Chain A
Amino acid sequence: MATQTRNRHQELGLSDEQMLEIYRYMLLTRRIDERLWLLQRSGKIPFVISAQGQEGAQVGAAYALVRGKDWLAPYYRDLGKVLVMGMTPREVFLAAFAKQGDPSSNGRQMAHHWGHRRWNIISGSSPVATQVLHAVGVALAAKMKGHDIVVMTSLGEGSSNQGDFHEGLNFAGVHKLPCIIHVQNNEYAISVPLKKQLACENVADRAPGYGMPGVVVDGSDVLAVYAAFREAVDRARRGEGPTLIESKCVRLTPHSSDDDDRTYRPREEIERARQRDPITRTRAYLYEVGLLDEEREQALEVEIRREIDEAQEYAEAQPYEPVETAMRHVYKEA
């Protein structure tokens, strides 16, 4: 009964259209991700590293930023975030196929190493947590210039053991910088479970040591995520400094397409993880508040499938960047 369900998105100041847009981004992320796996398993692309299980955390977080104004230093699972920030499905598939026009790297980097100058998405690398320092540096520069931007960075809970994470939080805390460090805790660092990674209960427990709030939020609850990030964004814009937010997520796939999680992860555990699927949960909410029914859902799925088909076809048809350009952009060109 729609009328009896608390309308949580309106309580957060989100319109029905915005709530549907949030779900659309989540679903788009999931369907693109699933398509990438199909392409990888059929030998059309070499590599996938998944966002599945983290769409709520990613879309809810990025939705609290202002597109084109705020900055993102993403990590490899951040498909949901880069879509919200402005990257198109076409651009995602260009990167997946390593084709000319891929805005991240023009086919130079492995897929999922996001970057997009137009949307303030900072190019990333594979060594983990290095991007935390870049986000802090952007925030420092923005503060020096008096710009009221917010910088967000993402990483996994495993990466929160790297020195750069701790150096970055400390620096951001000392200088009260407008950045948000988002740890997407999906309980595994490739094969290593949480209990072998952390001696404390939450990654967010580390925040007080760096003079900032540490917030734990249920990553499968997109509205809870959005609320936490909006508060952190407001805090940052008011000049009150950084926030560490840990979203408790699940990883619904192996680490990457090169991994086989059957060697270390019980199947029952993955079944349990599916109970926390953010897509299922958000979909149920939309049915409850009357924003979605079977007909509208079907229409949405068809629309997204068309968009993905078109993006994949477009990307597949593009040429590779010619080898003659491989020596370009080592240094500034005259």
Chain B
Amino acid sequence: MPVMQYIEAVRETLRSEMRRDPNVFIMGEDVGKRGGVFRATQGLIDEFGEERVIDTPLTESAIVGVGIGAALYGMRPVCEIQFADFIWPAMNQIISEAARFRYRSYGTWFVPMVIRAPYGGGVHGGLYHSQSVEAHFAHSPGLKIVAPSTPGDVAGLLRAAIRDDDPVLFFEHKGLYRAVKGEVPEGDYVIPIGKADVKRDGRDITVFSYGKALHFCLEAAQMVAAEGIDAMVVDLRSLRPLDEETILNAAARTGKVLIVHEDNAFMGIGAEVAALIAEKVLFELDAPILRLCGPEVPAMPYSPPLEKWYMLSPEKVAAKMRELAAF
């Protein structure tokens, strides 16, 4: 099995899907000659030409809205929003249009498109190159939302997203692009959207996370293991739909639940996971559900100490794990 970086998994999956299906094409800002500001689409223009790797004008609403139109005609656009922070001008097209075409037309019109967006902080990106935006979209039925944490999951889930007949928001944590390497199964590797993954089994506490924070959780689990705390770490991977079965089983297994994400807590993904567990398996719990999330400030500040204050870390997660284990 080849080992590759997270960003290579993005690129190679795009390449293989574009080879497989001539309807798949890419559009976004700087995706062509430059290969994307992160180089996720590097070299694809050489293989597929500028008709299928389209450098768009600097217009996020059009990147999504034109993608919707192409999808209505039977194409499979993969639209790149350069930074998730810049997705807001396209919010109306995503929520009012992409998410609703199927419902509002009683199934006669639908939008098979993927919107890729690098998100997340810890990269000296300040308020407008660090945001986690997933909760804003997770509220909308009609959308699917994926946030993988490993190269293998990127490959399997991006392939599933491109083949999906509904709009999928595919959030790539930019802090993982070159920081994480992993095995990527060869060939037609697809992970169904809506399946969480137990990244580490454990008996004492259950930790739910996704994205970069998931890696902090795995590191923290190693740290507390030495102290005799055996943490189960579940990667949600798919934020809408949530994998209810895996979540409930994992919560019931240890009876102690911690939810960790970089996005702030209020009305976030963790709130939904906590509500789900409280509604369905309350009597399996031995402790209050805890959350460890970004702080309630509008976005991530820039200076190193401020950014460090905002960001989660293995140490912060480990401290929360100890608190939960001791309950």
A331 touching B66 by the CB < 8 A rule? no
Expressed in whole angstroms, the minimum distance between the Cβ of B70 and any Cβ of chain A is 4
CB-CB nearest in chain B for A149: B73
A137 touching B101 by the CB < 8 A rule? no
CA distance in complex: A103, B107 (Å) = 10
CA distance in complex: A130, B61 (Å) = 9
Q: Does A43 contact B (CB under 8 A)?
A: no
Please indicate the chain A residues that have their CB under 8 angstroms from the CB of B70 in the complex. 137-138, 140-141, 144
CA distance in complex: A139, B164 (Å) = 22
User: Interface centre among B59, B69, B92, by most A CB within 10 Å?
Assistant: B69
Q: Does B216 contact A (CB under 8 A)?
A: no
CB-CB nearest in chain A for B142: A330
Given contacts A144-B25, A163-B61, A329-B102, contact A137 B68 (CB under 8 A): yes
A108 touching B103 by the CB < 8 A rule? yes
Q: Does B165 contact A (CB under 8 A)?
A: yes
Q: Does A52 contact B (CB under 8 A)?
A: no
B65 touching A105 by the CB < 8 A rule? no
Q: Does B192 contact A (CB under 8 A)?
A: no
A residues contacting the other copy or chain, number (CB 8 A): 42
B residues contacting the other copy or chain, number (CB 8 A): 43
Interface residues of B in 54-109 (CB under 8 A from A): 56-57, 59, 61-62, 64-75, 77, 89, 92-93, 96-97, 100-109
Q: Does B288 contact A (CB under 8 A)?
A: no
B93 touching A171 by the CB < 8 A rule? no
Please indicate the chain B residues that have their CB under 8 angstroms from the CB of A132 in the complex. 65
State which of A125, A138, A139, A333 has its C-beta within 8 Å of the C-beta of B107.
A333
Expressed in whole angstroms, the minimum distance between the Cβ of B222 and any Cβ of chain A is 38
A123 touching B104 by the CB < 8 A rule? yes
B92 touching A332 by the CB < 8 A rule? no
Q: Does A34 contact B (CB under 8 A)?
A: no
Please indicate the chain B residues that have their CB under 8 angstroms from the CB of A104 in the complex. 105
State which of A106, A141, A168 has its C-beta within 8 Å of the C-beta of B62.
A168
Expressed in whole angstroms, the minimum distance between the Cβ of A145 and any Cβ of chain B is 8
State which of A103, A122, A164, A328 has its C-beta within 8 Å of the C-beta of B61.
A164
CB-CB nearest in chain B for A153: B69
Q: Does B51 contact A (CB under 8 A)?
A: yes
Please indicate the chain B residues that have their CB under 8 angstroms from the CB of A171 in the complex. 56-57, 59, 62, 66
A139 touching B69 by the CB < 8 A rule? yes
Interface residues of A in 99-134 (CB under 8 A from B): 103-106, 108-109, 113, 115, 117, 122-123, 125, 127, 130, 132-134
State which of B52, B72, B100 has its C-beta within 8 Å of the C-beta of A134.
B72
CA distance in complex: A122, B57 (Å) = 24
B69 touching A141 by the CB < 8 A rule? yes
Expressed in whole angstroms, the minimum distance between the Cβ of A282 and any Cβ of chain B is 33
B141 touching A115 by the CB < 8 A rule? no
Point out residues on A near B: beta carbons under 8 Å. 73, 103-106, 108-109, 113, 115, 117, 122-123, 125, 127, 130, 132-142, 144-145, 163-164, 167-168, 170-171, 174, 321, 328-333
- 19 additional contacts, CB 8 Å, given A123-B104, A123-B109, A137-B68? A108-B103, A108-B104, A108-B106, A122-B109, A123-B108, A125-B97, A125-B100, A133-B61, A136-B69, A140-B70, A141-B74, A167-B57, A170-B59, A171-B59, A171-B62, A329-B103, A331-B142, A332-B165, A332-B166
Shortest beta-carbon contacts, A-B, top 8: A137-B69, A133-B65, A141-B73, A106-B106, A167-B62, A329-B107, A134-B69, A137-B66
